[in-house]
Amino acid sequence: MENPVAVSPAPPKLARDYAALWARFLAGNSDDRLEKDLDNFSKKQKTFDPALVIAGYIRLYLRDYMGASQKFTQAVAINPKNRIAVYYLAEIAYLNQEYARAADLYTQLAASDTPYPDIETKRQRAVLRATDEVLRSGARAEDENRLGDAEQAYRHALTMLPKEALLHQHLADLLVRENKPAEAEAERKVAEELVPRRAGSPSPASDPASGNDADTLDDLGRWGNDINRFHEIRNAESITREQLALLLVRYFPQLMEMRQTPQIVTDTQNSVASAEIQTVVGLGLIDPLPNHTFEPSSLVTRGDLALALARMIRVLSLSPTAPSPNAAPDLDPTSTLYPEAQLVLGLGLMTLQDSGSFNVSGEVSGKEAVRSAERLFRLFQQAPH
């Protein structure tokens, strides 16, 4: 843990007393007594925030996250630029599933002069979880006919995703139901400006002709400002290993919080899904190659997808009933892939091809991968937790 005076230097008259407190903290002896002395020190030096940060450290060690948050909040009140306190407040907020607050705090840190490792990844993850949470809250309110609450939720989501035509269009439809025609028209115009269309054609944000390819609020919650990346995956004739990693983590963001076994992967630094690749490799969902590369642009086979989905089922602790075997000429019961393929076939996550074969080495289209991820997500939703 960083010495708090790196952020708020101690005045000369306090330097010796503070150094003694810091040394006692490092020694780790008599934390109870140290806390009392820190409290007395802070009462006398009301504008000196490092003592409060040390007190927050002690609360963290004791896993008293509420107490730690209180100390760090007091430190930020004295010095809003105390990046140490802001960092731990962000981490605690994320731990407590306060994703919107965590996103704001990570954004504040990202704008600071001191770089923090992975802070942008953490910020994006918090934004996505916050957006998804708000959109689901709005959808529940809408289903329960609490239209005012739904409107409030969607407007909150728009503060995080102001340029999403789908969300503006959905809010417009809701405002019509609330008998607010002027506000509905304003939102509809915003949606049309964000996604230009030909005269006389339906709005792309709500075009029924687009069928299964139309975005949903769930899609928007998972992808946020990266929704175009989702479109690339969904429209791909054949998806890559990089895209599969991204798809799995966006459907199941809790994967990034699970305990992982770090793996050496040497060729993902420039990948748009580097964090997601590390996650799926660390959890054993997708294997790296023997030479420690991942080959992000290599295409995924149907066998690869079946293996990843079957492993996902186990990682998510799903306990499906044993499926009835699906006969396929290219699925040998002695193959290590046989039980994995049977599992995903039995659960409807994948299907046999028209020829009746599984086609283990065949490529996987984006639509097929998205359909599989969607079905696994629904299965997970229905399972007892």
In the prediction, which pLDDT does 127 show? 86
Closest CA to 89 of 80, 131, 256: 80
Q: What is the pLDDT of residues 334-383, one digit of tens each?
A: 888 999 999 999 999 999 998 889 999 999 999 999 999 999 999 998 88
Structure tokens belonging to residue 22: 């810091």
pLDDT at 110: 86
Same domain as 279, residue 373: yes
Q: Which domain holds residue 40?
A: 4-96
In a domain, 231, yes or no: no
How remote is the C-alpha of 210 from its chain's centroid?
27
133, amino acid identity: E
Distant-in-sequence, close-in-space partners of 125: CB < 8 Å, separation ≥ 6: 253, 256
Kindly report each contact of residues 354-359 with a partner whose C-beta sits within 8 Å and lies 24 or more positions away, as own/partner.
356/327, 356/328, 356/329, 357/328, 357/329, 357/330, 358/302, 358/303, 358/306, 358/328, 358/330, 358/331, 359/302, 359/330
Q: Is the dihedral of CA 73, 79, 85, 87 positive or negative?
A: positive
pTM (predicted TM-score): 0.72
Same domain, 244 and 356: yes
Query: Residue 277 CB: number of other CB atoms within 10 A?
Result: 25
Residue 363 CB coordination number (10 Å): 16
Check which CATH number belongs to the domain holding 66 and give it: 1.25.40.10
pLDDT of residue 196: 52
CB atoms within 10 A of CB 189: 12
Q: Which amino acid is at 270?
A: N
How many domains does the chain contain in total? 3
Which of 205, 226, 251 is the C-terminal boundary of a domain?
205
Whether residue 232 lies inside any domain: the answer is no
- Specify whether 184 is located in the same domain as 247: no
pLDDT of residue 100: 87
Residue at a domain's end among 165, 185, 205: 205
Regarding whether 147 and 57 lie in a shared domain, the answer is no
Same structural domain, 164 and 88: no
Structure-block tokens of residue 207: 């075009």
pLDDT at 116: 79
CB neighbour list of residue 344: distance below 8 Å, 6 or more residues apart: 305, 306, 309, 310, 350, 372
Give the per-residue SS3 of the chain. Answer: CCCHHHCCCCCHHHHHHHHHHHHHHHHCCCHHHHHHHHHHHHHHCCCCCHHHHHHHHHHHHCCCHHHHHHHHHHHHHHCCCCHHHHHHHHHHHHHCCCHHHHHHHHHHHHCCCCCCCCHHHHHHHHHHHHHHHHHHHHHHHHHCCCHHHHHHHHHHHHHHCCCCHHHHHHHHHHHHHCCCHHHHHHHHHHHHHHCCCCCCCCCHHHCHHHHHHCCCHHHHHHHHHHHHHHHHHHHCCCCEHHHHHHHHHHHCHHHHHCCCCCCCCCCCCCCCCHHHHHHHHHCCCCCCCCCCCCCCCCECEHHHHHHHHHHHHHHCCCCCCCCCCCCCCCCCCCCCCHHHHHHHHHCCCCCCCCCCCCCCCCECCHHHHHHHHHHHHHHHHHCCC
210 located within any domain: no
Indicate if 175 and 258 belong to the same structural domain.
Answer: no
Residues 72 and 161 in one domain: no
**Residue 345 pLDDT:** 92
Q: How many CA atoms lie within 13 A of 111 on its CB side?
A: 9
User: Biggest alpha carbon distance in the chain?
Assistant: 84
Rounded CA gap, 260 and 306, in Å?
A: 21
Dist CA 253 CA 246 (whole Å): 10
What's the pLDDT at 319?
76
Residue 372 counted as domain residue: yes
Q: Look at residues 182, 205, 228 and tell me which one is the last residue of a structural domain.
A: 205
Does residue 101 form part of some domain?
no
Q: Is residue 222 part of a domain?
A: no
Q: Is the dihedral of CA 234, 237, 243, 245 positive or negative?
A: positive
Weakly modelled stretches of the chain, pLDDT under 50: 197-212
CB neighbours (10 Å) of residue 339?
13
Is 305 in the same domain as 375?
yes
Same domain, 303 and 344: yes
Do 149 and 90 lie in a common domain? no
Flag whether 63 is in a domain: yes
Question: Is residue 224 domain-resident?
Answer: no
Same domain, residue pair 253 and 377: yes
Instruction: For residue 156, report the phi and psi dihedrals to the nearest 5 degrees.
Output: -65, -45
Residue 270 and residue 377 in one domain: yes
Query: Which is nearest to 117 in space by CA: 260, 248, 255, 278?
Result: 278
